């Protein structure tokens, strides 16, 4: 019984009164924690280098993706800003064209500007809007 307690004390390296699998395997194969941690990870150095290269490429691709997402978000915000300005101007001109307290000339001028504004080609807005959906 004393031998078992002594063996369990030797196995429990962090003294938490629990046996982890790593602790058991270290005891079973008579290895120390230092030996375990100092061992090289992976047996084939070529494959290890290849894996490291793949990780670096994935990190670079992730950075490029984050940059592209930031640019897309900025473009969407700019589109929203332009669209809001367009809608605001249309609403303002609509209000001015129907304002009964304004002169007939002012109302006609506002109605004419509104018609011209609605006739303009919103192609740049549509282009950005279409590309932001993807």
Classified as helix, coil or strand, 40 is coil
* Closest of 59, 68, 56, 119 to residue 90, by C-alpha: 119
- How far the first Cα of the chain sits from its last, in Å, is 70
Please, which pLDDT band fits residue 126 given cuts at 50, 70 and 90? low
Token representation of residue 7: 């063996």
What is the percent of the chain where pLDDT is above 90?
20
Please, which pLDDT band fits residue 40 given cuts at 50, 70 and 90? confident
Q: What is the mean pLDDT of residues 38-60?
A: 87
Q: What is the mean pLDDT of residues 85-102?
A: 89
pTM: 0.49
CA dist., res. 134 & res. 132, Å (int): 5
Instruction: Check: CB of residue 63 under 8 Å from CB of residue 52.
Output: no
| pLDDT of amino acid 67 | 96
The continuous run of DSSP H or E covering 8 comes out as helix 2-11
Residue 121 to residues 21, 75, 86, 107, 133: CA-CA distances in angstroms?
70, 19, 12, 24, 20
Residue 128 has pLDDT above 70, yes or no: no
Please, which pLDDT band fits residue 133 given cuts at 50, 70 and 90? low
| pLDDT of amino acid 132 | 57
């Amino acid at each position: 019984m004393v031998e078992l307690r002594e063996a369990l004390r030797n196995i429990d390296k962090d003294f938490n009164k629990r046996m982890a699998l790593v602790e058991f395997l270290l005891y079973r194969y008579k290895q120390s924690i230092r030996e375990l941690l100092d061992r090289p990870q992976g047996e084939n150095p070529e494959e290890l280098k290849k894996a490291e290269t793949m990780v670096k490429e994935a990190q670079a691709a992730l950075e490029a993706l984050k940059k592209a997402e930031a640019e897309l978000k900025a473009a969407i915000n700019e589109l929203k800003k332009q669209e809001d300005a367009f809608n605001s101007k249309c609403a303002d001109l609509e209000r001015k064209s129907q304002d009964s307290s304004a002169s007939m000339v002012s109302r006609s001028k506002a109605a004419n500007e509104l018609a011209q504004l609605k006739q303009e080609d919103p192609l740049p807005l549509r282009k950005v809007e279409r590309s932001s959906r993807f």
